[in-house]
Amino acid sequence: MAQHISRKELKKDEVRETLVHGADIVFSHQQLTLYIVILAIVVALGVFGWRTYAERQTVKAAAGYGDAMRVFQARIRTPLEPQVPGEITYVDEKNKYTDAAQKFEDVANKYPRTHPGQLAKYYAALSEEHLGKNEEAKKLLQSVADGSEEDFAAMARFELAQLYDRTGQGDQAVKLYQQLIAKPGLLVPKAVVMLALAEHYGANNPAEAGKIYAQIKSEYPDTPIAEQADQDLALLPGKI
């Protein structure tokens, strides 16, 4: 004969099951909360660790950049001229810029994601220009233009445009000048680019150059660059 289970006992079982189920839910939520807290701690430590690492890399990059810049700006002295203790000097400009280019490239390669590293690549290109290695300089400048923060990229594009101008690649120079005029940067103002573009047209298309000089004077009146535009305008072929 089946054992008779009272309504009271059934009620106790239901309560017990409810409590057990509730405990399971609470325990599961506690586990989930614990996992979330642990994950948040791991992420926070990771962010802190990355920031600390990035700051240390930037400090190292800045130190290397400073050393390279001291070479880049070093004084050229005569062979018989005495050297001041502690001063970096060179008797040959080629050696100076060769050393500077190497130092800048070392910083750029070791710390490519830092601001000093990006700027070091730009100055490595300038050093190569001083050495007459224009193709190497163009590659470095293009790399900065493609892979750096916008202000540094604009600097590289402007220098690249001027290098194109100096090496007979006028069409490419004009293209970059126009890009920079359409989207100027903090370090490369629109007026400076317009002046460079006008100078580009000065010899072969004085009419176009005159238009740009006039635009500069109109948009930037009573400024040093407007005065420069006025002086350059007066020197255009056909002007008295």
Mean pLDDT by 10 residues, the chain (240 residues): 47 48 48 52 54 79 94 94 90 97 97 93 97 97 92 94 96 97 91 96 93 95 94 82
Under 8 Å between Cβ of 180 and 158: yes
Which of 27, 42, 28, 101 lies closest to 68 in space, CA to CA? 101
Query: What is the DSSP pairing of strand 75-76 with strand 89-90?
Result: parallel
Q: What is the model's pLDDT at position 42?
A: 56
Q: What is the model's pLDDT at position 109?
A: 96
Tell me if residue 136 falls in helix, strand or coil. Answer: helix
Round to whole Å and give the CA distance between 240 and 64. Answer: 51
Q: What is the model's pLDDT at position 11?
A: 44
Q: What is the model's pLDDT at position 237?
A: 85
CA 225, chain centre distance (Å): 26
Residues 6+ apart with CB under 8 A from 57: 111, 113, 114
Q: What is the model's pLDDT at position 46?
A: 54
